[in-house]
Chains A and B, each alone.
Chain A
């Protein structure tokens, strides 16, 4: 995947190895050491990853060894502890992507566009997971992989397909500034569509699709606890994946910036 624009701004302190590299490069180029160096997206990544692994293990333990079997669906209901949190986080991520895009248009800071892109990209991956796990459940429960007359399924598919056009739209534009601006406008418009779509489906649905979030208060305590822990674990997984991608993109941008500086310094030396 392409980076949208390269963050070469020097604002916040970097992590130790990265700061060391930047400092040494500055020395190599004969530049004075900067008081503040490039921002680090990798800060806290290790802690977040460990927290995610612990939360995921706890959630799986609760799902299979603590939560009781549901009376109507039996063991098949265990799919909901992964399917529903995936759907909630994917939709929440799409809305968050829109909010970050608003921040990008307000400040013109490309880092907000980076964040918006990464959040939407990760949400799209979670949406794929939602569709697949939902289809598996539908097959087990209804005997069909997909039911076109079910409004919740179709509306989610529409949202997914809408966001599937985000990346082709983005990378069809070559100018980085225009790319970021158009992508932000798309993210805001589509982000506003997500809650509207959700509310419309809720209001019009024939209540055929099982409702978990609206009836959490009716869930037995062990089931509610398992659901909340699963939701928290997948939210942590989402945050970790976003942070991983931001860190990778930022590192790549730093390497490219370093290449440009070294090339410029080489040309300066040759002259």
Chain B
């Protein structure tokens, strides 16, 4: 219905650069924003995993005293994680 009222593509004059520019910029900004949002979500998830791992290591080192074999392992892992 709407398209019936539209002129054929060949008869539509090309938009001037200053008008088309904002649409093109908009389309590419959308792509950039999608990637940016995705990366931000992944960063949040990664920090959550890191937090879980840190909690796990601290729980484990609490259970096993630092003098013990496993305690030493946890300390080494913990310091490696902070690097």
B42 touches A132 (CB 8 A): no
A140–chain B nearest beta-carbon distance, Å: 4
Taken together as a complex, chains A and B put the C-alpha atoms of A218 and B74 apart, in Å, by: 64
A136 touches B26 (CB 8 A): yes
Taken together as a complex, chains A and B put the C-alpha atoms of A149 and B6 apart, in Å, by: 12
B interface footprint on A70-96 (CB within 8 Å = 1, 0 otherwise): 111111101100110010000000000
Given the known A-B contacts A72-B12, A262-B59, are A133 and B30 also in contact in the complex, defined by CB atoms under 8 Å? yes
Given the known A-B contacts A76-B23, A258-B56, A259-B56, are A71 and B14 also in contact in the complex, defined by CB atoms under 8 Å? yes
* Chain A residues with CB under 8 A of B19: 140
Tally of chain B residues near chain A (CB < 8 A): 42
Taken together as a complex, chains A and B put the C-alpha atoms of A28 and B28 apart, in Å, by: 51
* Chain A residues with CB under 8 A of B24: 75-76, 78-79
Q: Which of A24, A125, A149, A241 is in CB contact (< 8 Å) with B73? A: A24
Given the known A-B contacts A139-B23, A142-B6, A237-B35, are A74 and B14 also in contact in the complex, defined by CB atoms under 8 Å? yes
Total CB contacts across the A-B interface at under 8 A: 111
B15 touches A149 (CB 8 A): no
* Chain A residues with CB under 8 A of B23: 76, 79, 136-137, 139-140
Taken together as a complex, chains A and B put the C-alpha atoms of A113 and B29 apart, in Å, by: 33
Q: Does A141 count as interface, using CB distance less than 8 angstroms?
A: yes
Which residue of A has the minimal Cβ distance to B24?
A78
Q: Does B36 count as interface, using CB distance less than 8 angstroms?
A: no
B38–chain A nearest beta-carbon distance, Å: 6
Given the known A-B contacts A142-B6, A248-B49, are A28 and B70 also in contact in the complex, defined by CB atoms under 8 Å? yes
Taken together as a complex, chains A and B put the C-alpha atoms of A255 and B60 apart, in Å, by: 13
Taken together as a complex, chains A and B put the C-alpha atoms of A60 and B6 apart, in Å, by: 31
Given the known A-B contacts A142-B6, A149-B2, A244-B42, are A75 and B17 also in contact in the complex, defined by CB atoms under 8 Å? yes
* Chain B residues with CB under 8 A of A79: 23-24, 27
Which residue of A has the minimal Cβ distance to B15?
A76
B27 touches A72 (CB 8 A): no
Q: Does A225 count as interface, using CB distance less than 8 angstroms?
A: no
Q: Which of B3, B17, B20, B30 is in CB contact (< 8 Å) with A132? A: B30
Which residue of A has the minimal Cβ distance to B10?
A72
A48–chain B nearest beta-carbon distance, Å: 14
B20 touches A76 (CB 8 A): yes
Given the known A-B contacts A24-B73, A76-B14, A262-B59, are A136 and B30 also in contact in the complex, defined by CB atoms under 8 Å? yes
Given the known A-B contacts A129-B34, A137-B27, A255-B49, are A144 and B2 also in contact in the complex, defined by CB atoms under 8 Å? yes
Which residue of B has the minimal Cβ distance to A128?
B34
A-B contact list, 15 entries, CB within 8 Å: A28-B74, A72-B10, A72-B14, A73-B20, A74-B15, A79-B23, A136-B26, A137-B27, A140-B20, A144-B2, A147-B2, A149-B1, A248-B46, A255-B53, A259-B52
Binding site for A on B (CB under 8 A): 1-4, 6, 9-10, 12, 14-17, 19-21, 23-24, 26-28, 30-31, 34-35, 38, 42, 45-46, 48-49, 52-53, 56, 59-60, 63-64, 70, 73-74, 76-77
Further 9 A-B residue pairs, CB within 8 A, beyond A76-B23, A140-B15 = A73-B20, A74-B16, A75-B14, A79-B23, A86-B31, A137-B23, A147-B2, A252-B52, A262-B59
